[in-house]
Amino acid sequence: MNKVKDLEEITGYFRDNQSIMIGGFLCVGTPELLVDALVKKGVRDLTIIGNDTGYPDRGIGKLIVSGQTKKAIVSHIGTNKETGRLMNTGELEVDLVPQGTLAERIRSAGAGLGGFLTPTGVGTIVEEGKQTLTIDGKKYLLELPLKADIALLKAWKADKLGNLVYRRAARNFNPLMAFSAELVIVEAEEIVEVGELDQDEVVTPGTLVDIIVKA
């Protein structure tokens, strides 16, 4: 099954009010082409899940500046002043999640778990409104799984079945998100025939990938 599609074919999957995971770490490993397609489609009231909100003119930051995002679930906003401004004026809801907790919440959704226990955030604002549990005298927060309607990912190489190879630090959140969304769309720098990838280098199996777009 050939999963490769043209960019114009995928925009029909984008709708208002969707939750969308976007891979990357300060735009490294972010599928910029797919983000641009999302901006161009003009869908609104999105919940965006990612490590950070990028920069005003790059990555997830474009979706913040364009006003298409109603909520951002991220671990860091410091590189995008517009995110902070909109948060302070009440125009954007920002859920700041400790980075390790964010990664584990995404992983938990993909693994089918009901949540996990962590001491991170105990005694801070992170604890507010969350269920806690004390084990052997130590207090933990119950953090819930985090999933999405769509995951937009970036790969270095993909074969036509969707097996993915990542490039060094550009790997970051991408493999985790591949497990945790209903629809997985990948932007790949290079697309090769089935059998051309070294199987020892494949990180994300093609069974998790629905659509591939050439970067």
Question: Which residues partner with 151 through β-bridges?
Answer: 21, 184
Q: Is residue 135 part of a domain?
A: no
- The number of domains in the chain is 1
Q: Is residue 122 part of a domain?
A: no
Q: Is residue 63 part of a domain?
A: yes
Task: Identify the DSSP state of 28.
Answer: B
Q: Is residue 90 part of a domain?
A: yes
Residue that is written with structure tokens 């954007």 in the block? 92
Q: Is residue 75 part of a domain?
A: yes
Residue that is written with structure tokens 């161009």 in the block? 40
Selection from 95, 36, 89 nearest residue 66 by Cα? 36
Residue-number span of the structural domain to which 178 is assigned: 7-115+145-214
Residue that is written with structure tokens 């992983």 in the block? 107
Along the 215 residues of the chain, how does pLDDT read in single tens digits?
Answer: 789 999 999 999 999 999 999 999 999 999 999 999 999 999 999 999 999 999 999 999 999 999 999 999 999 999 999 999 999 999 999 999 999 999 999 999 999 999 999 999 999 999 999 999 999 999 999 999 999 999 999 999 999 999 999 999 999 999 999 999 999 999 999 999 999 999 999 999 999 999 999 99
Q: Is residue 204 part of a domain?
A: yes
Looking at residue 202, which CATH number applies to its domain? 3.40.1080.10
- Count of beta carbons in the 10 Å neighbourhood of residue 111: 12
Q: Is residue 130 part of a domain?
A: no
pTM of the model: 0.95
